[in-house]
Amino acid sequence: MKNITREQLNAYRQCVAEANGITFSDTKTKFTVEPSIQQKLETKVQESSEFLSKINIVPVDEMSGELLGLGIAGTLASTTDTSKSKEGRETQDLTNMDSRQYQCVQINYDTHITYGQLDLWAKFPDFKKRISDLKTKRIALDRIMIGFNGTSHSKTSNRKTNPLLQDVQKGWLEQIRQDAPERHFKEETQGAGVIKVGKGQTYQNIDAVVYSAVNDFIATWHQEDTELVAIMGRDLLADKYFPLVNDIKQPTETMAADIIISQKRVGGLQAVRVPSFPKNTILITRLDNLSIYYQNGKNRRAIIDNPKFDRIEDYMSSNDAFVVENLDCVALIENLVFEDKPKAESTESVGG
C-alpha cells in the first residue's frame, strides 16, 4: 500500500471513529455503531435504490415481536343503531395488526478491498465516499435479493449452494407461501403444478393471469387500490408488448393501444421490474406493504488491516427482518409456463 493510500485510509477510519465516539485504534475491534450513524447508513442504503426508497425500512427495538402494522388494514365505515344495540358502536383498529411476529436475525455484510484497488482510488478527492458508496449499493442489492429469494435462515449460509442468498433470512415471498397460502396462485388446477399461458390456454397472456389474480386472490377491499403494482423480473418484461386482456393483436397495434393506457402495464397494473426477482413469478401488492426491519443499536462493525492477504477488511453486521405488513393485500403468482396449446386441443379462454 502506498503512503498516500495509507494516509487516505487512516483519515477514513478516523472519521468512522469520531462519528461513533471511539478512538482510532478501537475501529480495529468490533464496536457498536452509534444509533444516529446507523440511521444515516440505513438512509443511504435506502436512497441508493429506487425500489428500496418506495418500501419501508424502519427501526425496531426488540429482536422479535409483533409487526408494526404499517398501512391501513381494511374498511372502517359502519353504522350502528345505538338505541337497539347493547354492545354499542365498535371501533376498528386503524393499523394492520395481526398475530404474526417478526424475527430479526444477524446478517453479515462483510467486505474487503485490496491494497492495489485502494492505491488506484487514493488519488481521487472522494476516496472516503467511494468506499462508502460501494458498500452501500451492495447492501441494497443484497437486501433486495434476500427479500425476493430468501426461504430460510441458516446459522452458516452457503453462497455456493445458495447464490441468491436463499439461506440468509426468510424473505417476502416465502412469508406469503407459508403464512397466506390462500393468496398464493401456484397452479391453474389442483395438482397441475403450473399455470400455462399461451394461445388456446385458459390464460392467453400474463395480463389475463394478473387480472384474474387480483380478482381471485386479493381481498375485496384492496382490489381497486390504485397503488397496486405487478412486480416481476426481466424475463417477463423483456419481450412484453402489454396487450389488453387476452386481446390478441399484432405487436404494432398492441404497442399503440398500450401507450394510450400506460407504458408498462400488466393486467391493468403498473409493472415494476426489480433485480434478482425469481423467474416466471409475479408479486401483486402495494410497494409500501413491504418492509425491512432493522434492530436499533445492533449494528456492529470492525475495520481490520490484513497484510497477510494485502487487503482491508470491513466487518459489519445488522439484525434484519423482511416483513409483508398486510397479507390481505398480496397475490403471489408462480410456476408460469408459456406454451401454446395445439389447435385441436384449444378450449375457450378467459376473456376469449
Cβ–Cβ under 8 Å, residues 272 and 229: yes
Indicate whether 112 and 189 sit together in one domain.
no
53/92: higher pLDDT: 53
Q: Evaluate if residue 214 carries a pLDDT over 80.
A: yes
Q: Evaluate if residue 242 carries a pLDDT over 60.
A: no
* Averaged pLDDT, 123-142: 90
Q: Tell me if 79 is assigned to some domain.
A: no
Indicate whether 54 and 139 sit together in one domain.
yes
Q: Percentage of the chain with pLDDT > 70?
A: 82
pLDDT classification of 123: cutoffs 50, 70, 90: confident
Question: Using one digit for the tens of pLDDT, what is the confidence trace for 279-318?
Answer: 999 999 999 999 999 999 999 999 999 999 999 999 999 9
Question: Using one digit for the tens of pLDDT, what is the confidence trace for 173-182?
Answer: 999 999 999 9
pLDDT value at residue 297: 92
Q: What rounded mean pLDDT belongs to the chain?
A: 85
| Cell numbers given for 210 | 394478473
pLDDT value at residue 349: 57
Indicate whether 30 and 145 sit together in one domain.
yes
Write the CATH number for 307: 3.30.2400
Is 0.85 surpassed by the pTM of this model? no
Q: Evaluate if residue 334 carries a pLDDT over 70.
A: yes
Cβ–Cβ under 8 Å, residues 5 and 131: no
According to DSSP, the β-strands at 311-324 and 101-103 are unpaired
Indicate whether 149 and 30 sit together in one domain.
yes
Q: Evaluate if residue 243 carries a pLDDT over 50.
A: no
Cβ–Cβ under 8 Å, residues 332 and 185: yes
Domain extent, residue 135, equals 3-70+99-170+291-322
Q: Tell me if 21 is assigned to some domain.
A: yes
pLDDT classification of 113: cutoffs 50, 70, 90: very high
Number of domains into which the chain is organized = 2
Indicate whether 232 and 296 sit together in one domain.
no
Q: Evaluate if residue 193 carries a pLDDT over 70.
A: yes
Q: Tell me if 237 is assigned to some domain.
A: yes
Q: Residue 38, class by beta-carbon neighbours within 10 Å (0-12 exposed, 13-18 middle, 19+ buried)? A: buried
pLDDT value at residue 246: 44
Calculate ∠ Cα 232-237-240, nearest 5°. Answer: 140
Write phi, then psi, for 187 (nearest 5 degrees). -155, 150
250/112: higher pLDDT: 112
Question: Using one digit for the tens of pLDDT, what is the confidence trace for 253-268?
Answer: 443 332 223 366 888 8
Q: Tell me if 243 is assigned to some domain.
A: yes
